[in-house]
């Protein structure tokens, strides 16, 4: 199963239908990974049609055919921004700012084994919003939600599913964003060292060059 927006970044994908949330986040155009997939109606239509087909296959639920307009593009961008805020709030609980309300509906449907499932409902982009928030709630209930992260590189912000044992990942790709950040920090230390003439100052735990 390949989710088009996330595959551009080469990230590990979230399991099952939870990948739908990650996929929306990764529609944003960042660095060298491609254009914003919600930039034009044509690109967004291609993305949503392919994505809902993928979601339907992994979830086992039918997905409607969505025909997008320019107004729908604005709705999808707002929805993406809302999920970015929610993910960042989970990564930093002390972060200021009210989160956007999720004014959506879902249906609760028992399956043949007696398990109750949240089934998206509504029309157009409201159906998609229903599916996204339902997947987010299910991921939070299962404990998967904290592993969905945005890359700490502000120029990237690719959404990745952290599979590290202690859930400590911060870069979507250490070899690119991680090394770039380390190089930037190294150059900043060199710059500060040049300004101070290499003077050593004492700090708790030992001397440090500044």
Structure tokens at 165: 């044992």
Q: What does the pLDDT look like over 113-132, one tens digit per residue? A: 998 999 999 999 999 999 99
Q: Measured between alpha carbons, how far is 30 from 50 in angstroms, rounded to an integer?
A: 20
Residue 46 near residue 5, CB atoms below 8 Å: no
Q: Measured between alpha carbons, how far is 150 from 160 in angstroms, rounded to an integer?
A: 6
The pLDDT assigned to 114 comes to 92
For CA atoms 84, 81, 177, 136, the dihedral sign is positive
More confident residue, 197 or 9: 9
**Biggest alpha carbon–alpha carbon distance for the chain:** 73
The pLDDT assigned to 204 comes to 42
* Angle at which helices 41-59 and 70-91 cross, to 10°: 60
Please name each of the domains of the chain with its CATH number. 4-166 (1.10.3300), 176-209 (no CATH)
Q: Measured between alpha carbons, how far is 37 from 70 in angstroms, rounded to an integer?
A: 13
Beta strands in 31-186 (DSSP E): 106-110, 116-120, 148-150, 159-161
pLDDT at 146 over 90: yes
3-state DSSP assignment of residue 87:
helix
Q: Which of 24-28, 70-74, 151-155, 195-199 is the least confident region?
A: 195-199
More confident residue, 58 or 179: 58
The residues near 72 (Cβ < 8 Å, ≥ 6 apart) are 41, 44, 66, 124, 125
Task: Please report, rounded to a whole number, the percentage of residues in the chain having pLDDT higher than 90.
Answer: 59
pLDDT at 10 over 80: yes
Per the prediction, the chain carries an average pLDDT of 84
Structure tokens at 193: 């060292």
More confident residue, 137 or 184: 137
pTM over 0.85: no
CA distances to 28, 40, 79, 162 from 172, in Å: 14, 26, 22, 8
**pLDDT confidence tier of residue 9, bands split at 50, 70 and 90:** confident
């Amino acid at each position: 199963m390949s989710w088009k927006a996330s595959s551009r970044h080469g990230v590990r994908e979230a399991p099952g239908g939870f990948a739908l949330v990650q996929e929306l986040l990764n529609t944003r155009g960042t660095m060298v990974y491609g254009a914003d997939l919600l930039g034009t109606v044509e690109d967004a239509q291609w993305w949503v049609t392919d994505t809902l087909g993928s979601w339907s296959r992994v979830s086992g639920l039918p997905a409607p055919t969505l025909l997008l307009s320019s107004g729908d593009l604005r709705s999808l961008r707002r929805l993406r921004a809302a999920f970015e805020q929610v993910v960042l709030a989970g990564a930093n609980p002390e972060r200021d700012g009210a989160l956007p309300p999720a004014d959506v509906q879902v249906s609760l449907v028992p399956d043949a084994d007696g398990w109750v499932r949240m089934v998206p409902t509504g029309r157009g982009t409201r159906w998609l919003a229903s599916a996204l928030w339902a997947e987010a709630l299910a991921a939070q209930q299962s404990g998967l939600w904290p592993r969905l992260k945005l890359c700490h590189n502000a120029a990237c912000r690719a959404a990745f599913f952290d599979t590290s044992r202690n859930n400590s990942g911060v870069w979507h790709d250490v070899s690119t964003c991680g090394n770039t950040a380390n190089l930037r920090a190294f150059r900043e230390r060199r710059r500060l060292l040049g300004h101070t003439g290499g003077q050593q100052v004492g700090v708790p735990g030992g001397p440090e060059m500044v």
